[in-house]
Structure formats: structure tokens, C-alpha cells
Amino acid sequence: MVIRLVAVAAFATLVACVPQPAPDSDATPAVAREANDAVDRRQLMADLTILAADDMQGRGAGTPGGERARAYVVSRFEALGLAAPPSGRLQPFQRQGRRGPVSGFNVLGVVRSTATPERWIVVSAHYDHLGVRDGQTYNGADDNASGVASLLELARRLRRTAPRHSVLLVAFDAEEQGLSGARHYVENPVVPLAATAVNLNLDMTAREDDGVLWVTGTHQNPSLRPPLEALAPVGPVRLRFGKDTPQDLGENNWVNASDHAAFHARGVPFVYLGADYHADYHQPTDDVARIRPEVFAAATELVLRAFRALDEGLDR
Ligand SMILES: [Zn+2]
């Protein structure tokens, strides 16, 4: 346990030493500027690897492993200089989950905009996973250590190039137990839902084995599609729209598949970005070793450009 804590503390120190450049103010559109700012692949993979390590014990909500994962996410939010909302860094909750009562903590960070400070984009990724079941540890590298790592990279870039809208970054807990953290959040929102222009939800951003990062939610909110349609592929990864029409049935319909569903139920527009099902989905084999860093980095770059496109396009 001591070794584990020292390792996490060492990483926190490492990231804390990274200098934070002042937000630039040139007139180039943020979408174009983003192309010149590379993903920090080493940090991206470090975040993924730490969250999906065996000692996180599958990050089950309400377990010691989940607590360690939360401590790590908090340390990264702090290192990145993300402000806490007035209500605090953590949002605790207790609810009836899919497998009984569940307690958890959402982790919150804020980047205020000076351009449109009172209109918000809520970017989310759940940090919990399935924990240990029948003696097997479900590390959840793609689901969803990847989305959290992508969110942290987005946070780093927002500190370099300020967004047009204010941004609330949320690492949700207990997604795997009936979207419990997200459902608690929308009942107790930190920023008003009426002032929330869109929820951008990241869940499984690493395993684009087929070269596709899916965009779900523009069938429900068509005005969000044109800015995203303009995005070119990044390396081996391209966007594809779908999994959200009445013709998409069963597990091929993702409108209610992850935390964005809680926002959708309250009438908040959503965009969900994620990879398709793969053989390791919800298996103990969803490990870091199955992730190709170049694909994950490309997908994360596409996530960042999608964020900028939405941020720029919301008021057009
Ligand atoms: Zn997930």
C-alpha cells in the first residue's frame, strides 16, 4: 500500500511541475490553433495506465479501489489548476444502483470563459468500472480509464487555450451502477441545466479498432452535427454519426447507454463520443496491453477538436 501511494504521489508531483503557459490571445480560430498543439501522449498513457492498474481493483464505486481512483483524479485536477466549483471538488451521493445501494463521489473542475461565462459545456467521463467479481479484476482500460485520460488532456489544453463557453469537467462515479453519479448530478446540478448548452460525454475513447469514433446524439439535436461533420480524420481515426435513430435497435442504440442519458432525460442536448463494442468490452481482458497508443492519441485529438468545434459552433 505504501509503495502504491508513493507511486501516485510521484506522478502528481511530476504533473504539478509541468509549467502552465498563459492562455494565448491571438485571433486564429481555436479549431485551427488546436491542430498545432499535440496530444501529450506520455501523460495520456500514464493516466490510462494508472487508472487501469491492478491496484485500482477495477475502480468499483464505493470500494477502496474506487477511492484510490478518485484520489488520483482529484490529484490530476489539482495539478492541472482546475478550479473547484463553490460547492466543492467532490459531489457525494447515495442512491439505489443496479446492484443495490451505492455510494459515490463525482469529481468536479471548472474552466471559466471570459467570452460567454454564463453558458456552459459539461464534459463528462465516468471513472468507475466493474470492480472485482468472482475473483476477477475488471480493469476497464477502455471502459472508461480512457475517457478520463482524454478528459484530463482536454483540461490541459483548455488551460492553454481558453474556451468560448465556460466548462464544467466531471468525472462521474457509479456509471456502471445505473448511471448513478450522473443521475444524482442532474438532480443537483452545479451549474443550472438551463444554462448547460450541451453535455459532451466520453466513454471508451481508446479502442477504435475499426478506425471509428462514434458520435451519438445529433439525431436528437441536429444543430450540433454540422460543426462536427466538418472535422477531418486524425491519423487512423474518423468520426461516424449514428447509434441514435429509431432504426438503431437494442444494443446498437446508445441514446441511453452512458451518463449522457441523464442529461438527455432532462432535455439537455448531448453528444456522446465512444468506440464500438469489442471483444474485451465488460471483460477482465479490457487491459492497457490491448490499447494502441497511437490510436488512442489520435482519438483523443479528435475528441479535443470535437470539443472546440462545438464550443465555436454553439452560437453560430
Ligand atoms: Zn463505460
* Tens of pLDDT, residues 82-106: 999 999 999 999 999 888 899 999 9
- At 157-204, the pLDDT tens digits run 999 999 999 999 999 999 999 999 999 999 999 999 999 999 999 999
Residue 282 lies inside a defined structural domain of this protein? yes
The Cα 128–Cα 195 span in angstroms is 27
pLDDT per residue over 101-155, tens digit each? 999 999 999 999 999 999 999 999 999 999 999 999 999 999 999 999 999 999 9
Instruction: Evaluate whether residue 302 is within a structural domain.
Output: yes
pLDDT of residue 20: 42
What spacing in Å lies between the alpha carbon of 316 and ligand 1's midpoint? 32
**How many Å apart are CA 146 and CA 137, to the nearest integer?**
17
Confidence category of residue 28, pLDDT binned at 50, 70, 90: low
The dihedrals phi and psi of 82, each to the nearest 5 degrees, come to: -80, 125
Which pLDDT does position 34 carry in this prediction?
55
Residue 22 lies in a domain: no
Is 303 part of any domain? yes
- Which residues make Cβ contacts (< 8 Å) with residue 171, sequence separation at least 6? 70, 73, 106, 107, 124, 125, 126, 127, 148, 151
- 14 or 254: which carries more pLDDT confidence? 254
Say how many Å lie between the CA of residue 120 and the centre of ligand 1. Answer: 23
269 lies in a domain?
yes
Kindly give the distance from the C-alpha atom of residue 50 to the centroid of ligand 1, in angstroms, as a whole number. Answer: 17
Domain of residue 168: give its range: 2-16+29-313
How many Å lie between the centroid of ligand 1 and the Cα of residue 147? Answer: 8
Q: Which whole number is the average pLDDT over 232-243? A: 97
**CATH code for position 295:** 3.40.630.10
163 Cβ partners below 8 Å, 6+ apart? 30, 111, 113, 121, 307, 311
Higher pLDDT, 201 or 10: 201
Cα(258) to centroid of ligand 1, in Å? Answer: 6
* pLDDT band, very low/low/confident/very high, at 25 (cuts 50, 70, 90): very low
User: Is residue 23 one of the residues assigned to a domain?
Assistant: no
Residue 167's DSSP bridge partners are 111, 121
State the total domains in the chain. 1
Residue 21 forms part of a structural domain: no
Backbone angles phi, psi at 176, to 5 degrees: -70, -5
> Which one-letter amino acid corresponds to residue 201?
N
Strands 116-126 and 136-138: unpaired
Q: Hey, what's the cell of 224? A: 450540433
On whether residue 24 sits in a domain, the answer given is no
Section 1-28 average pLDDT: 42
Task: Decide if pLDDT at 22 tops 80.
Answer: no
Helices (H), the chain: 2-16, 30-34, 41-51, 64-79, 147-160, 180-187, 225-229, 260-265, 293-313
Question: What are the tens digits of pLDDT across the range 65-87?
Answer: 999 999 999 999 999 999 999 99
- 213 CA distance to ligand 1 centroid (A)? 14
